[in-house]
Chain A
Amino acid sequence: MDDFDLLRLFSLKINDPAVTDKLLAQIGQLSRCDFDTLYQMKKRLEELSELMAESYDCCVKSCIAFTGPHSKLKACPRCRKPRYRRNGQPMKTYRYLPLIPQLVAYFLNRELNERMRYRSEGHPKVKADKNGHMTDVFDGSHYLGLLEKEVTINGHGLGHTYFSDHHDVALGLATDGVNPWRRRKSTFWPILLYNFNLPPEERSHDDNAICIGEVPGPEKPKDMDSFLYPVVQELLKLSVGVQAYDVIEEEIFILRAYLITIFGDIPAVSMLLRMKGHNARSPCRLCTIQGIRIPNSRTTTHYVPLCRKNLHTGQKYYDPANLPPRTHEQFIAQAHEIQSAETNAQSERLATEYGINGIPLLSVLDSLSLPLSTGYEFMHLVFENLIPNLALLWSGNFKGLDNNQPFVFNKTVWDAIGAAAAASRSTMPSSYGAPVPNIATDRSTFSAETWSQWALFVGPIVLNGRFSDKRYYNHFCDLVGLINLCLKFEFSKEDVSKIREGFIRWVKKYEEYVGISSLPTSTPTDQKAGTIINTYQTGSHA
């Protein structure tokens, strides 16, 4: 058995969850493998890949990882659970796969090395420069701004500008909470990096996503920064530069990589940015709009209507075209103010006012402009929140809203709409995507994909002529038009202004039709202001 056979053996396990470790060892035995145990086989793979996993101890309840400033602690600072067992073994570990060897490997591969030139050579820049044409992340103002900026670490210039070398890698960081079981409340948080240097059609392939580790469940991490500590350290090293070998040019070069964006759903990004999240008094990540609570209600959710005429205090109206923006400088200044507040109470008060819990570790990376390098992620925003909420609204299942609204369907009408759409399943060409279930009875089986199918293809047909007032139907069709516009591969300047104006009009009408009280959201995230960020900041440069 040679190394190729070993790799063939492992490819079985990697592609098929049904191949367990035990089965793999048995196949090894059967094929007269040179390795006695699975452990030896895994060791050989580790040797071949030159990629060594690093283990960090973490809190048994996954609150924090004992990295950086926490590395000497004996117990979790959040839940006070001990770090070690009686026999000196750690209670739980967090495994981290170093990023640098994984990136270096890309340049040792002929095929991928060539494809990674998409950023510097393949991407149609000329077209972009002319009229603000938007074809990729490289046309965004954030990336274009970086091109003229000197790379700095903690205020010290490093003498080179961002992406000045064609090898430089643009990365995007993403995370999401995943529940491994359907019936239990338990989440793990994989940390993924996407390589934007690859052409768009390949960068999202499963093989090209770099998974650097997973925050073990079942609990949600309380201090995500401590889990990001090793990767931020590596990213700082990468902005200075590490040695690598280019297999095509046959020379050693300095490899640099920069994180340019963070993405994920609202709670995930709030956690990465140490923000309060979607139910806070200052809930929006991109503007400083103040949320209001429903008067005389016990719910703690804050809503963000544009018009607050009935309220006695605060701003009466927010202009949707001119929302008060957050800026990077302001965000960092506010975070500093919170951390340097004299008393805990004062820091809590500021945290509530600004919607920020503290300085996020990611702010040490100068290539990010927090919170502006993030966006409201489209899939969750539209297909998992907006459309399902509209369906709740129409069917009158909407918490806290009475059923006498003019846009609410009678139950028989709603059932008929669901049945009509479900009947189309057998005649819908499969190239359109997964068939859409009955919206009236099987709403729980909908996924982002089926919601989008329903909204884009089914909804406009089955809702036609059903509303008591035609304006509600037109309003929905406006939304479908706008979503279709957002799904384009390339955007011209006109498209972007159409999207901007279209959504402003749509949201204004929504407020007019639905009124001030509106969709309740999920449970508020439980996060408290931390006090250790200053040590992080000094620690990561040491």
Chain B
Amino acid sequence: MTLTVHGLLHIADTIERIGPVWAWWSFPIERQCGRLQRHITSKRHPFANLDDYITLSAQFKTTKLIYNIADKDLSLEGPVKKKTGLDLHYERKCFYRVCKVDLMLL
């Protein structure tokens, strides 16, 4: 009997300890890994290429979060968007000043 079969004996305990099976299974991880893998376009420096992509997408996501930008605001479909001329970073600094949050702490 291999560990695979033996592992079945521990499923019930694990559910009791860390919750339903869907909360800790690997399907989301595998999908995420598949997405990252597809974004490797360089054959010569695949991992540096991937690092760039991971950094870019994390920065992009964080920007969207902190400026409350929805995906539809960035959509390229539909009528041509008017220029807002918004300097987001300037707005942000004003926001911090209003909230009296120290920029260095965040």
Give the residue name and chain of the B residue nearest to A20 (CB): B41
State whether A283 touches B27 (Cβ < 8 A).
no
Q: A2-B86, A101-B62, A518-B5 are in contact. Are A497 and B12 (CB under 8 A)?
A: yes
- Which A residues between 504 and 530 are near B, CB-CB below 8 angstroms? 504, 506-507, 510-511, 514, 516, 518-521
Asked whether B83 is an interface residue with its Cβ less than 8 Å from the other chain, the reply is yes
CA distance A491 to B86 in the complex (A): 50
Contact of B106 among A10, A104, A112, A284 (CB under 8 A): A104
In the complex the two chains form, is B3's CB within 8 Å of A200's CB? no
Our pick among B6, B26, B60, B101 for the contact of A10 (Cβ within 8 Å) is B60
Which chain B residues (46-86) contact chain A, with CB distance < 8 Å?
Answer: 46-48, 50-70, 73-74, 76, 81, 83-86
In the complex, which of the residues B8, B20, B23, B57 contacts A507, with contact meaning CB atoms closer than 8 Å? Answer: B8
Could you say which residues of chain B place their CB within 8 Å of the CB of A487? 21-22
A180 with B68: in contact, given A503-B9, A507-B9 (CB under 8 Å)?
no
CB-defined interface of A1-39 with B at 8 Å, one 1/0 digit per residue?
A: 111110110111110010011000000000000000000
A110 to B68 alpha-carbon distance, docked (Å): 7
With contacts A10-B60, A95-B55, A142-B18 taken as known, whether A377 is within 8 angstroms of B88 at the C-beta atoms is no
Interface size on B (CB < 8 Å)? 82
A378 with B1: CB separation less than 8 A: no
**CA distance in complex: A126, B50 (Å):** 45
B60 close to A49 (CB less than 8 A): yes
Q: Are B37 and A180 in contact, with the CB atoms below 8 A?
A: yes
CB contact under 8 A between A386 and B56, given known A264-B26, A278-B3: no
Q: Verify A289–B21 contact, CB threshold 8 A.
A: no
Residue contact A519 to B4, C-beta cutoff 8 Å: yes
- The answer to whether residues A519 and B2 also contact, given A50-B106, A372-B17, A377-B25 and a CB cut-off of 8 A, is yes
The CA of A306 and the CA of B51, in the complex, are separated in Å by 46
Chain B residues whose C-beta falls within 8 Å of the C-beta of A51 in the assembled complex: 58-59, 62
How far, in whole Å, are A175 and B28 apart by their CA atoms in the complex? 11
Residue from A13, A137, A141 in contact with B56 in the complex, judged by beta carbons closer than 8 Å: A13
With known contacts A49-B59, A105-B66, A264-B26, A389–B4 Cβ distance under 8 A: yes
Q: Which residue of A lies closest to B64 (CB)?
A: A7
Q: Which of A216, A245, A520 meets B47, CB within 8 Å?
A: A216
| Complex contact A263–B25 (CB within 8 A) | yes
B12, A499: Cβ atoms under 8 Å? yes
Q: Contacts of B34 on A, CB cut-off 8 Å?
A: 178
A415 CB within 8 Å of chain B = no
Chain A positions within 8 Å of B40 at CB level = 17, 180
Give 25 pairs: A residue, B residue, CB < 8 Å, sorted on A: A2-B86, A4-B69, A7-B69, A11-B76, A13-B56, A51-B62, A102-B58, A136-B19, A139-B19, A200-B23, A213-B51, A214-B51, A216-B47, A216-B48, A245-B106, A263-B26, A264-B26, A264-B29, A378-B25, A381-B4, A381-B8, A448-B30, A486-B11, A507-B6, A519-B2
**Complex A-B, nearest 10 residue pairs according to Cβ-Cβ distance, in ascending order:** A375-B14, A500-B12, A204-B28, A216-B47, A137-B19, A376-B7, A49-B59, A105-B65, A49-B62, A140-B19
Q: A378-B11, A490-B20, A503-B8 are in contact. List 14 more A-B contacts (CB 8 A).
A: A45-B60, A48-B92, A50-B66, A143-B19, A176-B30, A245-B101, A287-B10, A303-B1, A306-B1, A375-B11, A379-B27, A381-B7, A486-B21, A507-B9
